Amino acid sequence: MEANNQNLKSIIERRGYANAEDLKKAEKYAKSENASILDYLVDKKIIEEDLAGELFVEDVLLREKYITASQIKKAEEFSIANNISIIEYLLIKGLINNNILGQTIALWFNVPYFNLSLKPAMPEQVLKIPEEMAKKYRIVFIK
């Protein structure tokens, strides 16, 4: 799923993460490269990659109707007042769960999502990976 540049632009403008000139350049780049404005903003170091990831997650959650625009506004206000991320607020309030968040993050990184709580790894699968490597990289053998 691609990012919606118009949604992202309005979020970025509202929060003051980038100025109008940078957003215009980002839109031009996104159109010419068939990319997200986030790609440009991160590449030019206007926003950090972790912030871009959060913005992508918010965009997907809004478009897929997991949350509403009013819930995002409330989350923005709460996150500023309490120094937590918007995603943390959404999780705490039960507006999204870890499964939805995991799927959305997998989209951001363009990797498959696998819910281990639905199908936990079997002990013999876990033992196929050296313990040190599994802990260091947080990996699990699935197939």
Report pLDDT for 120.
81
CA distance 23 to 18: 6
Lowest mean pLDDT among 1-5, 96-100, 134-138: 1-5
CA distance 136 to 118: 24
Report pLDDT for 2.
57
Give the chain's count of helices (H) and strands (E): 9, 0
CB count within 10 Å of CB 4 equals 16
CA distance 21 to 7: 17
Q: What is the DSSP string of 103-118?
A: HHHHHHHT-----TTT
Q: What is the mean pLDDT of residues 94-109?
A: 90
Report pLDDT for 27.
94
| Selection from 39, 35, 65, 64 nearest residue 53 by Cα | 39
Report pLDDT for 3.
65
Report pLDDT for 125.
82
Whether 142 shows a pLDDT value over 80: the answer reads no
> 41-63 burial by CB neighbour count: b if 16+ within 10 A, else e?
bbeeebbeeebbbbbbbbbbbbe
Report pLDDT for 64.
87
Whether 123 shows a pLDDT value over 60: the answer reads yes
